[in-house]
Amino acid sequence: MRTISIAPLALSALGLLGTIAPAAAFDAKEIGSFHIGGQALTLKGLPIKELVYTAGGPPTKMDPNGDFHSGQMYVQYIKLTNPKARYPLLLWHGGGLTGVTWETKPDGQPGWQMYFLNAGHDVYVSDAVERGRASWSRYPEVYSGEPVFRTKKEAWEAFRIGPDSSYATDPVERKVHPGQRFPIAAFDVFAMQSVPRWVTNDAKTQAAYNALVAKVCPCVIVVHSQGGNFGFNAALAAPDKVKALIAVEPSGAPPETANLAAVKDVPQLIVWGDFIAQSELWTKLSGASTAYHKALAAMGGKVDWISLPDKGIKGNGHMLMMDTNSDHVAELIQNWMTDRGLMQ
């Protein structure tokens, strides 16, 4: 085989850039962001405090009462000069994380945002309500309950990097699943991406996602983990707007009592990694999307299922967009989008 070396820019300008060239350049027309969803609210009756905001600055009276916005989410977009996809691609992260999930890998390698930009998609990376740049609101006055902070142990085990009870504070004592593809040496770097979450805001989060779909779709949505339910429900709410849904390790799915016929013609792909049987949590959680897939398939729905180990791709845990073979997994998804007629 002969290899011709051409500068990435030239390739891209000529429209010759392959969809599996993760480190190449992309021609951006615009980068920007916006917040969407939520509503105005007013707090009253809280005590006034006195604070110094800037070292050396004067003390300022801090009155916590007043008008706020709450329930919004954050979305950053990059639009290409010459997109090759029919629709923008929306990337929705999972629980206790933010859009950073898609931007980078903890070993510093480029993430799926870069991959799909190179593949020719306008890409929208968002932070769900209460996470990251979406901001969060006072509790218990606005949010019910208190925030949950994920420990490294929970991440290590729930993300199937190692089996249950395999985490240790000292990295050298941690046990990993055999053949693990996560960049294990960078696990403590990955832990820096964690953000607190509430378990009481699902309705607000769904409302903001639905508002996002109404604003920027028709679109294709890639969801991860907790994003699964939000994506499936967004498609049920707007099946004309969601042109395809790719659910990567969805932690939940709508029950069979949902109006699944509404999304029968929405192309859907469900992707699972390895080590499910070794995880009590994921053996349970994967049941919902298994039943969803089965019910949709039974009514002739356009739903596909990829179990990576069943295809001979071993060693991927829950954060497979960060694994050493993440480009390979992205390529499978990209090829599925091509097959489903989602590229120009």
**Region of 71-79, 299-307, 309-317, 326-334 interacting with a second copy (CB under 8 A):** 71-79
Q: From the list 16, 52, 185, 261, which residue makes contact with a second copy (rule: CB under 8 A)? A: 52
153 contributes a contact to a second copy by CB under 8 A: yes
Of residues 33, 166, 307, 324, which one binds a second copy by CB under 8 A? 33
Number of neighbours of residue 176 by Cβ within 10 angstroms: 18
Nearest to 325 by CA among 18, 17, 22, 8: 22
How many Cβ atoms are within 10 Å of 278's Cβ, its own excluded? 14
CB of 20 to a second copy, least distance (A): 17
Min CB(314)–a second copy separation in Å: 26
151 binds a second copy (CB under 8 A): yes
Residues 167 and 174 sit within 8 Å (Cβ to Cβ): yes
Residue 133 engages a second copy in binding (rule: CB under 8 A)? yes
Please state the closest distance from residue 211 (CB atom) to a second copy, in A: 12
Site residues (CB under 8 A) for a second copy, limited to 171-200 = 188-189, 191-196, 199
Site string for a second copy, 293-322 (x = CB under 8 A): ------------------------------
Q: How far is the CB of 72 from a second copy (least distance, A)?
A: 4
User: Which of 145, 341 has the CB closer to a second copy?
Assistant: 145
Q: What are phi and psi of 155, to 5 degrees?
A: -65, -45
Tell me which residue of 292, 301, 240, 305 sits closest to 267, measured CA to CA. 301
Q: Sketch the per residue contact string, 260 through 289, with a second copy: x for CB under 8 A, - otherwise.
A: ---------------------x--xx--x-
Q: How far apart are the first and last CA of the chain?
A: 28
For a second copy, the binding residue among 4, 40, 48, 172 (CB under 8 A) is 40
d(CA 295, CA 289): 10
Helix (H) or strand (E) holding 327: helix 326-339
Closest CA to 26 of 113, 119, 111, 118: 118
Closest CA to 69 of 125, 138, 145, 147: 138
Binders of a second copy among residues 82 to 121 (CB under 8 A) are 95, 98-100, 103-104, 108, 110-111, 113-114, 117
CA–CA distance, 214 with 238 (Å, rounded to integer) = 8
Q: Which stretch binds a second copy (CB under 8 A): 176-184, 221-229, 301-309, 322-330?
A: 221-229
The one segment of 129-137, 214-222, 265-273, 294-302 that binds a second copy by CB under 8 A:
129-137
Task: Specify the DSSP element, H or E, that contains 235.
Answer: helix 227-237
Q: Which residues contact 335 (CB under 8 A, 6 or more apart)?
A: none
Spatial separation of the C-alpha atoms in residues 291 and 289, rounded to whole Å: 5
* Residue 136 near a second copy by CB under 8 A: yes
CB closer to a second copy, 221 vs 253 = 253
Both tokens assigned to 306:
């990829």
Task: Determine the angle formed by the axes of helices 202-216 and 227-237, rounding to 10 degrees.
Answer: 50
Measured in whole angstroms, how far is the alpha carbon of residue 342 from the centre of its chain?
20
- 74 binds a second copy per the rule CB under 8 A: yes
- Minimum distance from residue 58 beta carbon to a second copy (Å): 5
60, β-bridge pairs: 51
Provide the 8-state DSSP code for 12.
H
Residue number, 69 or 294, with CB nearest to a second copy = 69
Q: Does 169 bind a second copy (CB under 8 A)?
A: yes
By CB under 8 A, the count of residues binding a second copy is 87
Between 151 and 339, whose beta carbon lies closer to a second copy?
151
H or E element that contains 89: strand 89-92
- Residues 226-255, one symbol each (x = binds a second copy by CB under 8 A, - = not), give x-xx---------------------xx--x
